[in-house]
């Protein structure tokens, strides 16, 4: 099961339109996961969701709520990763230690881009032809893939630097464990670098689209140069007001 498949099945069970079932984000179908779904059923009795049956899916809890669950309404995610058939334990241990000390770039993974990159390919065709996409799910997946690909490209360019954790003028810095962020200025670079080294702050990368990128000055110029060749995808995101 994946999130969309479960949401569609729940809508069918409740006899409502698929758009009336919402969720905060997509879960990986190749994992054991839990998430909340929200179904809009105004004026109806509380349905007996214990009767909802779907292979690979189990209803753990359900209740009424006054507000709709919207995409992106996430406090965070918790993961347990299981490594099997490890062939070089010492090498893995060293890499894990490096991650603890230096952190790890937060790329969007292959799942975001669809099987064989199909979501990104769909976005590229859309950007090139400007043919309207009527399917709501395809629009969402393709736009998300386009934006994620540009983000990954910015991160990849940053990793080519000698010190990826070096704060530069205009970087967008996020407070660790919180959503708050601010822009680095030249006058504060030394102090901000200390806070990054102490893991109080994290250097971020832009999600290009129709709005402000967040970074400014040197950092913004670097990010724009990193994705300068992707004019069609950028134009698509602006046109679709992402």
What DSSP string runs through 116-162? GGHHHHHHHHHHHH------HHHHHHHHHHHHHHHHHHHHHHHHTSS
**CA angle, 3 as apex, 232 and 242 as ends, to 5°?**
25
Which CA distances in Å does 197 have to 102, 179, 193, 219?
9, 19, 6, 19
- The four Cα atoms 26, 29, 33, 39 give a dihedral, to 10 degrees, of 50
Length of the chain equals 242
**Separation CA 82–CA 87 (nearest Å):** 14
DSSP bridge pairs for 57 = 54
> Within 10 A of 42 (CB to CB), how many other CB atoms are there?
6
- Which residue in 28, 91, 98, 135 is the catalytic one? 28
Per the CB < 8 A criterion, the answer to whether 200 and 242 are in contact is no
Query: Which residue's entry shows tokens 């919402």?
Result: 22
Residues whose CB falls within 8 Å of the CB of residue 238, separated by 6 or more in sequence, listed in order: 209, 210
28 in catalytic set: yes
Which residues belong to the active site?
A: 28
């Amino acid at each position: 099961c994946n999130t969309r498949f479960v949401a569609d099945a729940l809508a069918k069970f409740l006899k409502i339109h698929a758009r009336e079932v919402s969720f905060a984000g997509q879960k990986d179908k190749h994992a054991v996961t839990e998430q909340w779904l929200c179904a809009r059923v105004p004026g109806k009795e509380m349905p007996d969701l214990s009767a909802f049956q779907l292979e690979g899916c189990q209803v753990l809890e359900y209740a009424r709520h006054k507000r709709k669950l919207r995409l992106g309404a996430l406090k965070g995610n918790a993961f347990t990763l299981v490594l099997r058939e490890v062939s070089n334990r010492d090498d893995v241990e060293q890499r894990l230690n490096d991650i603890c000390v230096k952190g790890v770039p937060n790329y969007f993974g292959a799942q975001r881009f669809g099987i064989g990159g199909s979501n990104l390919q769909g976005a590229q065709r859309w950007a090139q032809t400007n043919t309207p996409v009527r399917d709501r799910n395809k629009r969402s997946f393709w736009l998300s893939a386009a934006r994620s690909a540009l983000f990954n490209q910015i991160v990849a360019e940053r990793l080519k630097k000698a010190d990826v954790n070096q704060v530069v003028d205009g970087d967008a810095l996020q407070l660790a464990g919180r959503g708050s962020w601010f822009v680095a200025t030249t006058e504060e670079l030394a102090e901000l670098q200390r806070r990054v080294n102490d893991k109080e702050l994290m250097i971020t990368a832009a999600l290009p689209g129709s709005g402000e990128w967040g970074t400014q000055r040197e950092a913004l110029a670097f990010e724009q140069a990193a994705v300068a060749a992707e004019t069609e995808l950028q134009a698509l995101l602006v046109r679709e007001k992402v």
